[in-house]
A = this chain, B = another copy of it.
């Protein structure tokens, strides 16, 4: 359905050609300062039209809070949010040729199979516009995580086509290896400001960024498209997040990421490269964790005493966060809408050639950055609240006798 999360819950609505898109966030902690200005920046980062290499459509995407706050403070009740669809242009997709064909690798055909209604929105909820509600909700989640736990979530472009930020090499057979110290160093320090200083590509390296931009321009000129990968790091995550068995933290993150339009893959920590490493190298030995920095509003949040020397685990062991940086990479396919003519078949089972008119992005990866961050924030807020419930409940029980060794639950 259109709901994500159990404790910090977001429900979205809206497609490309309706009145508005939006969401309801249920479960936001009460007593937090929150206004539209906390949400708008990520909305704006998601917007198309930020440079020559993205679509010129300018939708403004101004978010309006409908409920759940008073005088800029959250009440703990559901937060309704809405963004108008100002620039609907329904004719664009509605021309005669487009009506006849299900667009290849688009959702037109599968939506028709599913719902039996052929709408001018086509596979309406598969549109990138649907992600607006997620980004709005994610901005709230991440504000809570930042204030309460000092959590930092930063995503960046790690490849476009075959241009990589950390390319495979003789030493590391796959990109983004956690055995590569340069990669780990970037994860420890990268900020959103740094990422955005490399607009329009959002790959935080001048050389790689320039190669990627050129590649995208080439594809644009050929009326073709290209995909890439986004890598995301979550720093200062509390330990103990993620629910055993079905709702392991990496399972929830994978669910979240593969729910973003145009995604084809997900890997956590060592990922597919980890399959090729011996256990003796892949295992992350424990070491003493650095003392927590004493200052800051979230310093009351206890950090674990131990951490790991290496981080092939990507911050998650047994489905549960260990306090180390969590990082993962998401694969995005090339956009299905291309200007080139395509030999395909009509709804009426007649062969023909489809030529797509209108705006289209040669590459959506740079715009996916805030969406990846938003979905990561939703997963982290949801699992943090689940752990709050557990550890708070446990704290009311009497201390155990010495029959089995017991530590204090980490209060997240």
Contact = CB atoms under 8 A, between A and B. Distances in A.
A276 B72 contact: no
A306 B255 contact: no
Given A15-B75, A31-B116, A245 B265 contact: no
Contact of A345 (B68, B282, B288): B288
Given A258-B254, A275-B333, A130 B245 contact: yes
A81 to B, nearest CB: 9
A302 to B, nearest CB: 10
Interface string A1-44: 11110110101111101111110101101111100000000000
A29 B397 CA distance: 9
B404 A79 contact: no
Interface stretch (A54-62, A203-211, A384-392): A384-392
29 contacts: A3-B11, A12-B245, A18-B70, A19-B67, A72-B403, A73-B400, A76-B115, A77-B115, A77-B244, A104-B285, A104-B286, A105-B282, A105-B284, A107-B319, A112-B407, A113-B239, A116-B391, A116-B407, A148-B396, A222-B280, A224-B279, A227-B282, A246-B255, A248-B259, A265-B275, A280-B338, A298-B396, A300-B396, A312-B333
Given A227-B275, A244-B126, A404 B119 contact: yes
A67 B229 CA distance: 32
The winner among A280, A313, A318 for most chain B CB atoms within 10 A is A318
Interface string A300-312: 1100111010001
Contacts of A177: none
A252 interface: yes
